[in-house]
Amino acid sequence: MEGVVIRHRTVEVNGISMHVAEAGPEVDAKGAVLFLHGFPELWYSWRHQMDHLGACGYRCVAPNLRGYGGSTAPPGVASYTAFHIVGDLVALLDTLGLAKEPGVAEKQFAPAHAKRLMRQMLCHCFSHGVFCDEEMDDNKYPTSPLPPWLTEADIDYFVTSFEKTGFTGAINYYHNFDKNCELAAPWADAKVQVPTKYIVGDGDITYNFEGIQDYIHGGGFKEDVPLLDEVVIIPGAGHFIQQERAQEVNNHIYDFIIKF
């Protein structure tokens, strides 16, 4: 990476050790930005945004969620509910001193958002083909050229990080989907009451699920997120949009931050 230096450390939060990457100033920052990855990603997916916003004077914090990379991977499936993620993030903000007002962290990651948070994470999928070693039999293992935004070095980083924990996060999070719905049932009709900007590529498989576009553009999304500021659809982009169209996403995030 070019630009700002990425700092790494391990933080003890909510009964686990969490690997955290940071960029930008630790003091006298304009504010803090918390980046959360999905499946099957890591803090690394946000490297371009951290570089850009860190250089703009913001403190950027990007953890590896439990079960990913260098963060603890608890052995039991029951330790991977959306409420565990919320607890981890609240504890992280408190530990880093970013929740300066009482209850701020809890408000930002209220249980009302837990089901939506987990649903978003479970929608992540890899749709760029099967990547194989050149020495493998091409007839047996189909290959696909790397997209321009993904390098061999990027793949090596992800693979090495996943091997540290056996990549337990994927199956454990998936197995808790029904449990998350049960736990979050009391907040099923809750609204997301914070300013929100939604950015998606028009080729993202999740954007093309049946009924999703009607929900987003037909008023349902705005009803559930009353402070929705803008919906941005980027033509020709897919699911990993913060890497595919890094500078566009950087600009959209920055414009949103300075607006609010």
247 neighbors 3 (Cβ within 8 angstroms): no
Q: Which two tokens stand for residue 70?
A: 């260098």
Q: What's the CA gap between 30 and 183, in Å, rounded?
A: 36
Q: Which two tokens stand for residue 217?
A: 């553009």
The per-residue pLDDT string of the chain (260 residues; one tens digit each, 9 = 90 and over) reads 457 899 999 999 999 999 999 999 988 889 999 999 987 789 999 999 999 999 999 999 999 999 888 899 898 889 999 899 999 999 999 999 886 655 555 555 555 444 333 333 323 333 322 222 333 344 443 455 667 777 778 777 766 766 665 565 567 777 888 888 899 888 888 888 888 999 999 999 889 999 999 999 999 999 999 999 999 999 999 999 999 999 999 999 999 999 87
Q: Which residues contact 16 (CB under 8 A, 6 or more apart)?
A: 66, 71, 72, 74, 88
**DSSP track, 208-221:** GSTTHHHHHHSSHH
Q: Where are the domains of the chain?
A: 7-190, 191-260
Cβ burial, residue 179 (10 Å; 0-12/13-18/19+): middle
19 neighbors 8 (Cβ within 8 angstroms): yes
Return the CATH fold of 7-190. Rossmann fold (3.40.50)
